[in-house]
């Protein structure tokens, strides 16, 4: 039983180290691509050429995983998560590939944090995003705010108007 625990702990340690290494490499590659683009012309065609040239060189040397589409993902990863220390090490590269597709920054951060806290698989994360969980929570909170505002500002006169900030004004 003790030996079994040693094996499981060692495997978990190795898994975390490999995952952190993959995330760090992809983030650093993304940062380097952004820096290269900024050092050159800011034109989109220049950036595309940088990625295509790099993809060609890296694919020859390292094989799959470094095509232009994947390098664009690394670039986007860095642009969306520019602070290395803000990444959640509990999440895998596949989690982050899914999060990159979320356009709303607040929603993306919500899904990132919930995936880490709730230990969501990438399939569970994808499902939560597809079901618009963040947007539904936000919507239900807004409905609660409106209801509370209506209840707390119940007018004495029947002639009232509701403004967009949930304040009720008496109409004279």
Q: Could you read off the pLDDT tens digit of each residue along the chain, which spans 172 residues?
A: 899 999 999 999 999 999 999 999 999 999 999 888 766 555 556 677 889 999 999 999 998 889 999 999 999 999 999 999 999 999 999 999 999 999 999 999 999 999 999 999 999 999 999 999 999 888 887 766 656 665 665 544 444 333 333 233 333 3
Residues forming beta bridges with residue 161, ordered by sequence position: 169
pTM for the structure as a whole: 0.74
Q: Which of 129, 68, 133, 79 is nearest to 101 (CA)?
A: 129
* Alpha-carbon gap, residue 129 to 99, rounded angstroms: 9
Task: Give the pLDDT of residue 156.
Answer: 45
């Amino acid at each position: 039983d003790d030996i079994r625990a040693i094996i499981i702990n060692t495997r978990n340690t190795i898994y975390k180290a490999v995952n952190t290494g993959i995330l760090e490499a992809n983030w650093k590659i993304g940062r380097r691509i952004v820096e290269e683009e900024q050092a050159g012309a800011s034109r989109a065609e220049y950036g595309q050429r940088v990625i295509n040239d790099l993809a060609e060189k890296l694919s020859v040397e390292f094989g799959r995983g470094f095509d232009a589409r994947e390098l664009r993902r690394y670039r986007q990863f860095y642009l969306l998560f520019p602070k290395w220390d803000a990444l959640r090490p509990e999440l895998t590269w596949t989690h982050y590939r899914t999060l990159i597709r979320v356009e709303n920054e607040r929603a993306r951060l919500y899904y990132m944090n919930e995936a880490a806290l709730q230990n969501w698989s990438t399939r569970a994360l994808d499902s939560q995003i597809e079901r618009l969980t963040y947007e539904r929570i936000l919507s239900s909170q807004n409905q609660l705010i409106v209801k509370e505002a209506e209840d707390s500002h119940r007018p004495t006169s029947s002639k009232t108007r509701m403004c967009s900030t949930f304040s009720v004004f008496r109409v004279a």
